[in-house]
């Protein structure tokens, strides 16, 4: 463990002289031995591989089996139609998932292209891929760290590690620090610098102790590289449904063949009939319709700033029960902001809404002026550079009309004493109208030690013990609210003084408290999520008190007892952690491995877990979660590559809208599936009873395929984009194991399907009876059979089209919802009837499907039969009570 060893031990272990660095020959030898400092990714899948991956579905297997059989018996038209459905489904899937996983590629891009190293006694700039273990790397402000380093020298060094640890404030580094605890979190390893983090202040030197996949970033890359192919609830439902329908199709075929043997019917004819029944049992359009509905849902979600990278993720959102969210940049604004100012006797809250103010308080004005003059950060036109803490101070100045440029022009800086981590202070010497003034900022207790006076109401007065206690008490209260406290003081001089003389006999002005504040809209979103039965949880690399303070403000947690740190997690056994996980709402100081462990623990209890985040440190958890949600603006490419969904506005509120949309989409898919199964059951009932009672077949296989693939498809798609229930977010999340047929959906499908099947047989009976034949008659003339089958064909299609209106809600009548509130469905039903009319009136189609046009009387009869299932279903809703959520 490099962080627990002294620089001397490490230099000896890696066999390098820090004064000269490695020789070129030694560096080359190590490069050949250990390889380039570059992250490795798994090979990309080809388009063909992705296409075949789409075909690995039980329902698709059943369809392909049906296609093979239809080719075997010479029914080429049927086979081509089925294969086109399979092709359409696979193509939609490939298009939606064509953007392959980019996580590893993004990690590669994040590595620094050039690095400063010492070799052969001189400093050289080399390609970061050629950095090797043992290299001496020089760090200065603005330079990325090329590999994992053990620091051997540091001077006021600060490194911004938020992408790796989640901390919003740069970490102060000190090469002399030693950490004995082997479980020290990455964020607390002050003597280390990690690959792809950014040096923001000071300078340092470090010896490379890990490159490429052995770095902390590399470990994350390995986690991302592991395939996680857990199926979503919808995929599981559809797979189960596919298996069930496949077994039903095989069972029906066997039953028909057995019946044929008993009835002494021609086996080949009955085999064709069995295929008709198998075709009737399987909703051939289902895979394509589900894919289309999901794709339309994805398009709709992109309009609410949520980009879905993987189709099944849409419906997974609908059953999310836990939202694990990173703090920095997701729940908070990822920018330090001054929220409190204190001068003697005057504690003031600073509004965070961006407005400008003027202050009449002399002390307050002096405090802000001193902070701005003692800062190197810049802030112009909304763009900032420099240390986040200093940026917060400069932004405070802008709010109070004490802008940095204006002040620095008026009070020229003529000297300074830079910040260092031992003093925890920084001082500057600026000109003013009476000579020169020292401005000092830093840790309040250190400022009080070097001060002898205080500024009170514009006058310098002696600093009493009572005043010191007062300052420290206010600072403690701010710290308890998880604010970072910074004090300020000044001293007037007649001439330019040495830095060593600056920090003596100062006058205390006051202090400020700052925090990375919560996003303004997040609190309402969390309340809405809770109302929908979803538990929001914070997972962060930041400190416990800071995290809990934010969580309390947002309504995520009530007390410190609901929080736990990464090191406390390590002390618990696997069983203890799984048992206690439900008690926690805040997880602080956690590593990437902890985040994955937390997500898995929630999943162990049967939760569907969403993980939102924006940093590199979030990527493994995004990958392992049921649905990973990355931030589009502040999010790293790594987090985006590992996610299932990206929020383009970085707004936590969008995930709540996305969950609402996901619930509606799942409900709509369920409507489509139940509708299609009702229709298919109607076809099975009609064919099966005809065979069972030795009647003539009321429908042909091509007619059934037409209805399954064309007539049914448009209403099914229209149901898939139904506006949905307005109160969907007042219900608890759907249980992952909940069946498609829960809440009476199965009974509705059976009743609706049976009604459709019986009325189809009734239409067939009346079609024969018009010419004096019955369903048992032998040697029925072809024109009579065509007439009867046409009537059965139209009733089957018409009853399904009307029935689609009733499928919009289990409990509410379509007239309550609004008959025309889903214009797409109205259009689909009208279009369906036009298609049906076209098939029986256009000669080419009529001949292909063996149908003909009907008389006015027959049309009246078939329309009457067609509307019966719709009427019965709507009336039954009067007696069904909606369960409470």
Residues classed as catalytic = 326
Whole-Å CA distances, 59 to 92, 237, 296, 314, 872: 16, 11, 21, 20, 31
Q: Which residues pair with 646 in a beta bridge?
A: 307, 630
Burial category of 37 from C-beta neighbours within 10 Å (exposed 0-12, middle 13-18, buried 19 and up): buried
Quick check: 425 and 446 in contact, CB under 8 A?
yes
- DSSP code of residue 336: -
Q: Taking Cα atoms as reference points, which of 164, 181, 161, 163 lies closest to residue 172?
A: 161
Burial category of 682 from C-beta neighbours within 10 Å (exposed 0-12, middle 13-18, buried 19 and up): buried
Q: Which H or E run contains 875?
A: helix 856-876
Distance CA 639, CA 611 (A): 11
Token pair listed for 247: 């077994």
Distance CA 716, CA 266 (A): 37
CA 231, 233, 234, 239 torsion-angle sign: positive
Token pair listed for 689: 């009873």
Quick check: 160 and 143 in contact, CB under 8 A?
no
Pair type for strands 506-515 and 451-456: parallel
Token pair listed for 494: 């007649």
- DSSP code of residue 104: H
CA 226, 227, 233, 237 torsion-angle sign: negative
Distance CA 155, CA 164 (A): 22
3-class state of residue 844 by DSSP: helix
Burial category of 237 from C-beta neighbours within 10 Å (exposed 0-12, middle 13-18, buried 19 and up): buried
Distance CA 301, CA 290 (A): 16
Distance CA 141, CA 128 (A): 17
* All residues at 6 or more sequence positions from 707 whose CB lies less than 8 Å from its CB, including other chains: 679, 683, 793, 796, 797, 800
Token pair listed for 355: 């407005």
Quick check: 519 and 332 in contact, CB under 8 A?
yes
Residue 358: half-sphere exposure toward Cβ, Cα within 13 Å: 1
Phi and psi at residue 256, in whole multiples of 5°? -60, -45
SS3 content of the chain, % helix, strand, coil (to 5): 50, 15, 30
Distance CA 828, CA 665 (A): 19
Token pair listed for 569: 């997690």
**DSSP for 442-468?**
E-HHHHHHTEEEEEETTEEEE--HHHH
CB neighbours of residue 213 within 10 Å = 17
Whole-Å CA distances, 161 to 33, 194, 336, 546, 581: 30, 8, 15, 17, 27
């Amino acid at each position: 463990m490099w962080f627990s060893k002294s620089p001397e031990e490490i230099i000896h272990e890696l066999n390098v002289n820090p004064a000269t660095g490695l020789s070129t020959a030694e560096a080359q030898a190590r490069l050949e031995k250990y390889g380039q400092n570059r992250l490795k990714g798994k090979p990309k899948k080809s388009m063909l591989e992705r296409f075949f991956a789409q075909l690995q579905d039980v329902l698709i297997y059943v369809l392909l089996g049906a296609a093979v059989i239809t080719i075997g018996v010479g029914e080429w038209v049927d086979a081509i139609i089925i294969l086109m459905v399979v092709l359409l489904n696979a193509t939609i899937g490939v298009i939606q998932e064509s953007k392959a996983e980019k996580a590893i590629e993004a990690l590669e891009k994040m590595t620094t292209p050039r690095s400063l190293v010492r070799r052969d006694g001189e400093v050289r700039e080399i390609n970061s891929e050629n950095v090797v273990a043992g290299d001496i790397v020089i760090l200065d402000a603005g330079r990325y760290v090329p590999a994992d380093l053990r620091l051997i020298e540091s001077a006021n060094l600060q490194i911004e590690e938020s992408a790796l640890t989640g901390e919003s404030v740069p970490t102060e580094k000190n090469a002399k620090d030693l950490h004995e605890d082997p479980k020290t979190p990455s964020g607390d390893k002050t003597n280390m610098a990690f690959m792809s983090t950014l040096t923001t202040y000071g300078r340092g030197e470090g010896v490379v102790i890990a490159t490429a996949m052995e770095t902390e970033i590399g470990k994350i890359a390995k986690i991302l590289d592991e395939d996680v192919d857990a199926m979503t609830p919808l995929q599981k439902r559809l797979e189960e449904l596919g298996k069930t329908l496949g077994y039903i199709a095989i069972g029906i075929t066997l039953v028909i063949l057995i019946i044929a043997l008993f009835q002494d019917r021609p086996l080949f004819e009955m085999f064709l009939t069995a295929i008709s029944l198998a075709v009737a049992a399987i909703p051939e359009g289902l895979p394509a319709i589900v894919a289309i509905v999901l794709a339309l849902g994805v398009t709709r979600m992109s309009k609410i700033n949520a980009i879905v990278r993987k189709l099944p993720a849409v419906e997974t959102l609908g059953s999310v029960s836990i939202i694990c969210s990173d703090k920095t940049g997701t729940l908070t604004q990822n920018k330090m902001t001054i929220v409190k100012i204190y001068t003697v006797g005057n504690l003031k809250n600073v509004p965070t809404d961006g407005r400008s103010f003027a202050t009449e308080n002399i002390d307050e004005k002096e405090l802000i002026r001193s902070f701005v003059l003692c800062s190197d950060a810049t802030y112009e036109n909304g763009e900032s550079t420099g240390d986040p803490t200093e940026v917060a101070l400069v932004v405070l100045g802008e709010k109070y009309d004490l802008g940095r440029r204006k002040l620095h022009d008026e009070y020229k800086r003529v000297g300074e004493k830079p910040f260092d981590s031992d003093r925890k202070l920084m001082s500057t010497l600026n000109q003013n109208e009476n000579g020169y003034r020292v401005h000092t900022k830093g840790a309040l207790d250190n400022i009080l030690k070097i001060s002898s006076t205080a500024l009170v109401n514009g006058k310098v007065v002696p600093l009493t013990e009572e005043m010191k206690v007062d300052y420290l008490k206010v600072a403690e209260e701010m710290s308890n609210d998880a604010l970072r406290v910074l004090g300020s003081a000044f001293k007037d001089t007649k001439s330019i003084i040495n830095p060593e003389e600056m920090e003596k006999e100062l006058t205390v002005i006051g202090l400020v408290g700052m925090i990375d504040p919560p996003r303004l809209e997040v609190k309402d979103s969390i309340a809405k999520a809770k109302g929908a039965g979803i538990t929001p949880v914070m997972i962060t690399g930041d400190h416990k008190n800071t995290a809990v303070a934010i969580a309390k403000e947002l309504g995520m947690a009530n007390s410190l007892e609901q929080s736990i740190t990464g090191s406390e997690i390590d002390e618990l056994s696997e069983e203890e952690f799984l048992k206690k996980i439900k008690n926690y709402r805040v997880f602080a100081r956690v590593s990437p491995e902890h985040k994955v462990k937390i997500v898995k623990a929630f999943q162990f209890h049967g939760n569907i877990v969403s993980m939102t985040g924006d940093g590199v440190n979030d990527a493994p958890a995004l990958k392992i979660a049921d649905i990973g949600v990355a931030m589009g603006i502040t999010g790293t490419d790594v987090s985006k590559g590992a996610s299932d969904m990206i929020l383009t506005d970085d707004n936590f509120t969008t995930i709540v809208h996305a969950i609402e949309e996901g619930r509606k989409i799942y409900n709509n898919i369920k409507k489509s599936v139940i509708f299609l199964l009702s229709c298919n059951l109607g076809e099975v009932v009609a064919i099966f009873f005809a065979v069972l009672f030795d009647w003539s077949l009321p429908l042909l296989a091509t007619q059934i395929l037409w209805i399954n693939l064309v007539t049914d498809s448009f209403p099914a798609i229209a149901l898939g984009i139904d506006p949905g229930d307005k109160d969907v977010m007042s219900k608890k999340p759907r249980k992952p194991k909940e069946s498609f047929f829960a809440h009476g959906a199965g009974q509705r499908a059976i009743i609706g399907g049976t009604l459709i099947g019986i009325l189809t047989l009734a239409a067939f009976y009346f079609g024969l009876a018009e010419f004096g034949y019955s369903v048992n008659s032998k040697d029925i003339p072809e024109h009579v059979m065509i007439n009867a089958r046409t009537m059965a064909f139209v009733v089957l299609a018409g009853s399904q089209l009307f029935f689609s209106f009733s499928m919009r809600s289990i409990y509410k009548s379509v007239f309550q919802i609004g008959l025309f509130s889903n214009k797409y469905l109205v259009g689909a039903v009208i279009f369906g009837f036009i298609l049906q009319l076209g098939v029986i009136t256009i000669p080419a189609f009529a001949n292909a499907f063996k149908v003909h046009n009907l008389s006015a009387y027959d049309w009246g009869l078939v329309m009457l039969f067609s509307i019966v299932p719709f009427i019965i279903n709507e009336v039954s809703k009067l007696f069904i009570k909606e369960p409470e959520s």
